[in-house]
Amino acid sequence: MKAKIYVVLIALVTSLSLCAQTSGTCGPNLTWTLNNGVLRVSGEGNMTSAPWLEDDVEQDVIHAIIGDSVTNICRRAFYKDKELMSISIGNRVSNIGEEAFEDCHSLKTVSLPNSVKSIEKEAFYDCYLTSINLGDSIVSIGESAFGYGDFNTITLPSSITSIGWRSRSKSVV
């Protein structure tokens, strides 16, 4: 009887671990893998979804690496990912989507490559950022993009042509 119970338990644990997603697609030509808290997005083109946030993914994203041929970070890509501590953004990303990093409380610093042209509405809303490097090519910043940030100053490059309402934290230089 004990042997049958052990076999059933082993089968159950095995089937549960097989269901936990650790890789897949996140765009027509993009793939993702998550291993030991490190998310890697690779391929070429637009990110259209963030399957690593779904309930069947067993690990939290602690560090994200967005590949050099990815062209955007999609809406809500890391939404409310309270464990995300750092992100490396590839040099072809031109757009940070709406609410992409909203409520990422462990994310303290961000450095955007010069390829980023726009940061959409609430992209870094309620993050506890202490430092952000916007790069030299930002053209537009959406409404409340940095609302409730924890930094005192944001230095904006001269390339900015549009800033949405409530897009600043305590001060904008």
pLDDT of amino acid 152: 67
Give residue 61's pLDDT band: very low, low, confident or very high (50, 70, 90). Answer: very high
| Cα-based distances in Å from 40 to 2, 14, 64, 166 | 43, 25, 6, 32
* 109-141 pLDDT per residue, tens: 899 999 999 999 999 999 888 888 898 999 999
| Strands in the chain per DSSP E | 23-27, 30-35, 38-43, 63-66, 72-73, 86-89, 95-96, 109-111, 118-119, 131-133, 140-141, 162-163
Least confident piece of the model among 32-36, 102-106, 129-133: 129-133
Mean pLDDT of the chain: 86
What average pLDDT does this structure show over 83-108? 96
Using the predicted structure, report yes or no on whether residue 13 has a pLDDT greater than 60.
no
Instruction: Provide the whole-model pTM.
Output: 0.82
